[in-house]
Structure 1
Amino acid sequence: MARSLDGLVFVPVADQAPGQVGTRTRFTYHEQDGAVWAEYAGGDVVRGHLVGTREGDRLDFRYVQLRTDGSTAGGHCVSDVVGLPDGRVRLEESWEWESAEGSGTSVVEQVR
């Protein structure tokens, strides 16, 4: 799938732990010449940014965010870009915090 992510808005399909992204978080992606970046906010996240690269259907990026409690956090994520039957895009993510202990998986899907 070579569909551009530029301008697409994504939302997590499930909540994570407190202080992390959740179903009220919205990601707005941008893509140009193999570079990807996004802004995100909502739920426990006041403001977040990610920046990285895309090679084929794989994203590799770092993220940093400011939480509602005033703390900051950052980490690394690798995502697979998957096309859904209805034409939307899903990102299947494996992430790890670099500012604290912890790692996991998550799924975000393009908003209809």
Structure 2
Amino acid sequence: MARSVDGLVLAPVADQAPGQVGARTRFTYHEQDGAVWAEYAGGDVVRGRLVGTREGDRLDFRYVQLGTDGSTSSGHCVSVVVDLPDGRVRLDETWEWESRPGSGTSVVEQLTEHGH
């Protein structure tokens, strides 16, 4: 099993559609006893939260966020935790909005101490 995501800071490797999570968004993950949660912000996101479960290398969670335009939205995501060769962690994500139309895939990767 890939290592714990507890305490890791991750960022998307590419921008999503406007008004969504993008390369300037930062996710701070926590994991304990099969539960996962995170706070995120940056780019078009003022504040976001996610909460869910981990089974093996699979995270299953729901997310809610507040956008810079004042809108709120929520959705569901399933992520696979991947150990990268350089020791960092990547999440391969498949997500769908529940409060509005839209779905897709994205990749977030652990930042190094220097933020790269």
Q: TM-score, normalised by structure 2?
A: 0.95
In the alignment, the residues of structure 1 paired with residue 95 and residue 2 of structure 2 have an alpha-carbon distance, to the nearest angstrom, of 23
Q: How far 1:38 sits from its partner (Å)?
A: 0.1
**Identity in percent:** 86
Q: Which residue number in structure 2 is paired with residue 99 of structure 1?
A: 99
3-state DSSP class of the match of 1:101? coil
Any gaps of 5 or more consecutive residues in structure 1?
none
Q: Which residue number in structure 1 is paired with residue 68 of structure 2?
A: 68
Corresponding letter in the other structure for 2:25: T
Corresponding letter in the other structure for 1:73: S
Corresponding letter in the other structure for 1:81: V
Runs in 1 of length 4+ with deviation above 2 angstroms?
none
Q: Which residue number in structure 2 is paired with residue 109 of structure 1?
A: 109
Q: How does 1:1-112 map to 2 (within 5 A)?
A: 1-112=1-112
In the alignment, the residues of structure 2 paired with residue 2 and residue 17 of structure 1 have an alpha-carbon distance, to the nearest angstrom, of 29
Deviations 1:7-42, CA, capped at 9 Å, x for gaps: 000000000011100000000000000000000000
Deviations 1:51-92, CA, capped at 9 Å, x for gaps: 000000000000000000000000000000001000000000
What is the RMSD of the two structures over their aligned residues, measured on CA atoms? 0.5
What is the number of residues matched between the two proteins? 112
Corresponding letter in the other structure for 2:27: F
Q: How far 1:2 sits from its partner (Å)?
A: 3.5
In the alignment, the residues of structure 1 paired with residue 85 and residue 4 of structure 2 have an alpha-carbon distance, to the nearest angstrom, of 17
